[in-house]
A and B are shown apart, each in its own frame.
Chain A
Amino acid sequence: GENVEQHPSTLSVQEGDSAVIKCTYSDSASNYFPWYKQELGKRPQLIIDIRSNVGEKKDQRIAVTLNKTAKHFSLHITETQPEDSAVYFCAAWQTGNQFYFGTGTSLTVIP
């Protein structure tokens, strides 16, 4: 089955700086890669996603890049704000299968 690894597990950045979270996956059949933000005690919220036929996607301050050859994808948050503080999860999906989640990254943005 698929194995998704996520790094780092914790990340602290100064407000205004950028944050990068990386994930690797093992199964080349995975073709959809969403990123979720989870605030304490709340449900994960989809913040951005990318499909395997695209190399990069951007939505305002958030971007995701995908390298299919190397089987890794990254979340980039620019101009971080305190409200970006949360736990972020990456996931990999195969059509007709299930989501495989990374272990999560606790991001703290220091004002």
Chain B
Amino acid sequence: GAVVSQHPSRVICKSGTSVKIECRSLDFQATTMFWYRQFPKKSLMLMATSNEGSKATYEQGVEKDKFLINHASLTLSTLTVTSAHPEDSSFYICSARDRTIGQGTFFGQGTRLTVV
């Protein structure tokens, strides 16, 4: 089946620094990728929709200047958490939609971000 690889799986950073998370579709082209944030024992909260070659669409309440999304190719989207603070600590998951499999969407492994 379709594989989405997310890297890194865990990252610890200091307050004020920036962290980049990569999401790659390994065996299919993903014109659309989604970035989610998940709090412990909670559902997936959509942060933004990333379309290849265009600006990401952010959900209400998500700071676009803080969570920079770049979708430079059909297989790669990146999320950069800028000037991270402890409250940004969370589990971030990407997903990619493979048009060749209906509306199938496949998730990356997730990134556990801890800001200290």
Chain A residues at the B interface, C-beta cutoff of 8 Å:
32, 34, 36, 41-46, 49, 51, 87, 89, 93, 95, 98-99, 101-104, 106
Contacts and interface: CB of A to CB of B under 8 A. Distances in A.
A101 B91 CA distance: 16
How many chain B residues sit at the interface, stated as a range, is: 20 to 34
B67 interface: no
Contacts of A104: 41-43
B44 A44 contact: yes
B111 to A, nearest CB: 11
11 contacts: A32-B102, A32-B103, A34-B103, A41-B112, A46-B105, A87-B41, A89-B44, A99-B46, A99-B95, A104-B42, A104-B43
Interface of B: 6, 34, 41-44, 46, 49, 91, 93, 95, 102-110, 112
A104 to B, nearest CB: 5
Q: Which 10 A-B pairs give the minimum distances between C-beta atoms? A: A43-B107, A32-B103, A103-B43, A104-B43, A101-B44, A44-B107, A101-B43, A43-B109, A93-B103, A43-B110
Nearest to A103: B43
Scoring B44, B49, B95 by chain A CB atoms within 10 A of each residue's CB, the highest score goes to B44
B93 A44 contact: yes
Nearest to A87: B41
B93 A99 contact: no
A89 B105 contact: no
B12 to A, nearest CB: 16
A41 B10 CA distance: 11
Given A89-B44, A98-B34, A106-B41, A46 B109 contact: no
